[in-house]
Structure 1
Amino acid sequence: MCLASMNNCCWKSSGGCRPLASQWVGWFAVSLWILSVSLVAGQGTGGEKGSLDLNEETKGLYIGCFKERVDIYDALVYAGNADSCVDICERAYFRYAVLSSSKCACSKEFDQASRLDQAICHMRCKRNKAQFCGGVDSQSYYATGVKVSGPPTNLSIGNITETTMLLHWSDPAQPSYLTRFVIRANVLKTFATSPLSQSLEWGVGDHERHLHLLNLHPGTLYNITVSSMCDETNCGTAAIEAETLIGKPDPLPGEPVILERNGTTMKVSVPEAINNNGPVTFYRLVVMIINDEFQLEFDEALLGSYNRSVDNGVPYYVTAQFPYQSQFLIGDGKIRGGYYNAPLPPDSHIHVSLGIVSDYKGIKTVAYATATHKQHSNRLTDSNATDDDQTSVVALSVACVIFGLLLIASFVVYGYLRFKTGNRPQRLSDNHELTLQGPMVEVENNGYVPDSKLKENFRDQLSLALDDLDSSQKFARNAVRLNIDHILAQGSFGDVMSGKLQANAENLDCQVHVISDDIESQDQAVLLKELNQMIRLMPHEKFLTFYGVSASADWVYLIFELPPVLLKKRLVEARIPPSVDSARFSAISEEMILQWIYDISVAMEYLETNKAVHKKLCSYCVYVTNTNQIKLSIFGPPRLADHEKQIDISRWMAPEVLRFQHHSTKSDVWSYACLAWECCTLGATLYANITSQDLLPRMKNGLRPEQPAFIFNDLYQLFLNCWQIEPSERPDFEEVAFNVRQALTSPRHCLSYDRLDNILIPYYLPLLELKN
């Protein structure tokens, strides 16, 4: 016991006697510090795996002392203080920085069960003595303040084709904050001369880790980014570059022009080619020896060198391959690019076809133009006809001079005679006015109007409707090139063909409605009504662009945009067969399907607002652009099916239309729900087990398209609301668009294309959709 003053009391130890007062003061200060740190660290208690409230985890906040984990040392770095380690882990999107001496590691969470007393983490950081850096077999945890998921990791590309590729990625550092992914493909480099869409975009749910990128352009380098989205915030983006394979050259090369034929040789002019799907590496010339039996088309499988053509017994061969040159001499007997340029048979009828070779990164593609007789009519010179042509020119010039002199002389004589006879008095005529000497017959007008008058009246009204168009929408006939072999649709107004439109220095793909001369009188009125309505509604971003008209006294062409893919075709092609090892049965995401359904509802809402009725809404009237945008056709008949047969749209029609032909906005709502169901089922056929003749009685008895297991109740209930038998009970398109927009906020709660054991996709039966 200490009997003296406190200052004289001591504690015996191996180091001697220490004053008790100073020792107690030190112990008291340490105890207070431990208590305060424990209170702060105690906020994280309450679970096996823990973290503080995210809003309280400010950057640099000390979390506590924990048992050492060696599994987090995979990406070990060294830091002299907690601030440096926190910065490192923050950049890597980790929530916690972990220190043990100078060793810095990062972690997504901490194990609450491994929390230790703070006194164990007594080691001070080397570069900041106010901070703790763990202890023996222990680690100090600090918050980084990270509140986002971070970018996806391990991006990779596979299965690359001309227009598609498969993108894979792994979880971001903090997947718990993730709501969805947004994928974009931006063009970095392309061979295309025409403008491409610079950015394609897809959206998928937070559970997806791969996506088939569709509708890419051949031979194009893309910068592909995958962004992690935390609600509407971009929480990190990763990028990778990938290039599609080159495609078959497009457009086809032009036709060579025969300049001169001299026995066994022929000089041709070679037009310079462009290729939107790859480089133009070489040009090829194909010689075709024409006789009565040979057709102009050749089989590319049998096409080869001159010697091979002799072996195969075919009258065509590749005579030369060369880099571009404007003229080429065929038949000189030399080797040109590995092909024997054989002399031509004398007195033979020769056609020449031009091919272009695209060779890039080990992929080679070739495309050939079709040779016609026009290449002979364009011949510039002929060695056998030069003298005759010169003689003809001289004779024609002399004739023109003589004719001019005679014309001048006739004017002089005419003027002289007028001058001499101008003042001579005129004799009065002895002729009397003729009068009718018999009774007149009055013809009664019974209201009959000849067909010619009706046609003239129709054409006048049609011209009046087209006169209001802007001058930029009126095209000359030579600006429109029709593909008469490709009929897209057939209707009561005439045929719809594919074609090309030359406008503003661009060669645009288009569809041309050729207005027939023999339209029935009742169809004429319908045409005028629909045409005026269409012009009034245009333009709209969700409708096919109306380019304009080419019209004369003999023809009327209505010209519209032609997107590359019909919605029906896109849906059916998105089905992934069971034979493919895939966790999904659709190559299109749920979000994309719902986005298309929403876009269609917006377009129909616009029609409803303008008191217009579509009448023919189905998947054969809807197109998908290269940027996955929806385009509706609001004029003319639906597209023909692949079998070039007309579509029976009765499967999309409301009962009142089938029975009374009563079209209204409410009947469009019924058709819209059928189209939306078709989108969700990837192009399945409506009422696949029922013929069109049985539809109306079965609908009246409650028949509706089935609910597959992958269409959930909320979305299917929206369809059922649109399929009410009483039109007045169906929602309007404003309500429909609102409900679909709500569904877009959580696509996976409405639709799921995961391949499960009980999932069956409704059948697509194309023959049932055709007219008998």
Structure 2
Amino acid sequence: MLLQIAVGFLYVAGVRAQFDTSIHRQYINCFKFENTDDPDFQIEITNLTSVGSIESCVLACQNQFSMYAGLHDGGRCFCGSSYGRFGPGDCKSRCTQTPSDICGGESAISVYSTDVKVPGPPGSLELVETEMTSLGIRWEPAKTPEDFVTDYHVFVEMLRSFDHKNQKFTSKHLQLSKTATGTRIVGLRPAALYNVSVSAASEHGLGPVISESFWTEIAAPDKPNTPELVSHHGQEHEVEDDNEIHIRFQALTNNVGGPITAYRIVVINETEPAPFYEENLDTWEKAQELGLKYWIAAEISPDWFDTHEEFVVGDQRFYGEYENHGPLPSKYDFHVTVGAVSSFNNVTKITYADVSHDQHADHNIVVFEFHEHNLNHDDESHGHDHGNLRKHSPSPPAIKDNLSSRIVKDTNHNPDHDAEGLDNLTVGLLICIGVCSVILLGIISLYGYLRWTVNRSSGSNGDAQELTLHTPSPSNHEHGGYELGIENEGASGLSGLDLLRESVWQIPRNFLELTHEVVGRGRFGSVIKGIVNSGEGQEAAIVQVVPEKILEKSETKAMIRDIEMVAKYGKHPNIMSLIGLCEERDAIYVVIEEGIMTFKQVLLDNRALVHNPVYVQRNRRISTLDESTLIRYLVEIAQGLERLEMEKIVHRKLCARNIMICNDIAKVGGVGITDYCQPGQDIDMARWRAQENFKSRALSSKSDVWSFGVIMWEAVTLGGTPYPDVKTKDLPTRISRGKRPPQTTNPSESLYQLMLECWQHDLDERPHFTSIVHSLQDLAINPQDHINFGVRPGFEYEHFSNDLELL
């Protein structure tokens, strides 16, 4: 890239040097001069230092990067890139500065070559919008005759970034049409400085560039490390008398998304757990005013680590604008966590360690609890480790491998009260255990009798009750609009998975080849590529690897429910299908159809002005995807959703990213067990969510109808982001007030009206998918009448933003 730019500079410099020695004798001929709306010579030079001089006019046109200079009526100077369209002229006027030379006539112009072969640079270059991985730029057209420019070229070079371990970046080169005045550069790194150069080109090569340097936006910092309780000489640090907490944590290294400018120490009073909202974090005084149980105790700079090894929570000092409130009171349970702060170019982003309120054993939180005891009392008499760190026993399996800490402070302890209290407590516990045992035995006996009665009446039909499907209700919307009756085991004692095995193909292990190429993460495990060998040959597949032994009962139910959902609609040409299950001792392999490419990516890749400007010039089209294929895709998607609606299955995550294009056929993905996401591609569904679902999570097929309307809009805009001008947090209010994706120049009135029907406020006014299929099939008869991808003056694609669409 740099070589191309350098060649452009050297070429123009060489041409300029040639002008200085041979400028005054490059006469071409005399031609008619007509002052029309479309003349040969489009620029008149009115500020010549020497009016009526051939040399002055040619030099002025060189500076305008015009190929030709023309002198008219004795000295008027014009510049242009073509000549002779109106035929030969009669040049008889003498030049006012050099009477021996001819400078055109009353209706004629004397034409000279300037020897310029390339256009001039664009007039200016500015940053329109910056995001973490993209830059939006705009420039003024090159100050040169319009028909001299064949296209524009944008070159991108990374100058620096905060990723100190990997400074390599592949230079980018974008080729755009001659009418382009801006573009969006994607695929960049967060918090990186890029040199962006724009050059106009002619058929002879690149012109000189105009260059500016722009920063991309910073990313959220990496998650900070776990605070640790300080240990001295192998012993855990004891709590001081003034109830201070001593912690240690390490600074982040090589935070690639931007500079770490500060660390925040956050204290959370968990004595009476309450919801925690990061946006409400403030000083201790403000927290007291608002009645909050958490506050920022300190904000320290990264340089702090140069002179300190530990931080003391509650030392009553100021760190930045925050008071480290102390002493911390006794008999309270405190969490201490850390936030990493990144501020750069007027943007601040903060990442806090995970905060949990229903468990102490959260891996990013250190927990401290203060009680009143006597530190000098003998440990053996009451069983406490004074001032020592002790770990909580993890309760639910969801917190395995998490780390938590606790310190205890004892004051004013009375051993006599302890012994008496211990005897009373023992007696009480024994009585309680006895009563509870009797009650529990009674319940078990009653349950056994009732179950025996039910099995006796149901006979052998008990097996069939386990996988019964029910119609949607408000209580089951979380699982796609249906409920699995998995709890009722049949008389045979088969588990839900045993019954499911009877309805899907059990793939022999030697029929399944695993590549171990991880493509994403599903709800129950990693997703890798695989190959299935069947009687019809080999078939590429996606395999979700489910480690069976670590699944909890609720997770097993959810997995069976998701598999059953896909098994229910069976094989459909427009829905991603379940191929089968393959089981080993420690894992279940859920094998599903492979999706080649998402519909979203297909749409973006067919933006011809971005990826194939030559195609645009030759075909006068803004899309390499034809209109008939696009409408066919929409019909196929609607047919897949029609099947789901018939089966009373609600999709819940319907967007173009969850539609797959397989062998030129559109298939609905993201249903049940087929749902997975690629690393870093978690979708924020807010821009596809029906207006009623911002207040209620009770989903229905009419919610999917709304989302499909947004997919149609994505399709006709070739991958545009819905509501790009609205922040995600403002979407519920704006949509409830009538905000809808706008009508663009691509779709017909009929197609956009179908979208509006899908976005009706009243659910009953929205069409069913059967009706949508029929409407789209009618439009598909004459697709060019309803989608127009022809080039239009001033056309720009609808804005696309990864940052707005992903979590």
Could you state the TM-score of these two structures normalised by the residue count of structure 1?
0.49
- TM-score calculated relative to the size of structure 2: 0.47
Larger-Rg structure: 1
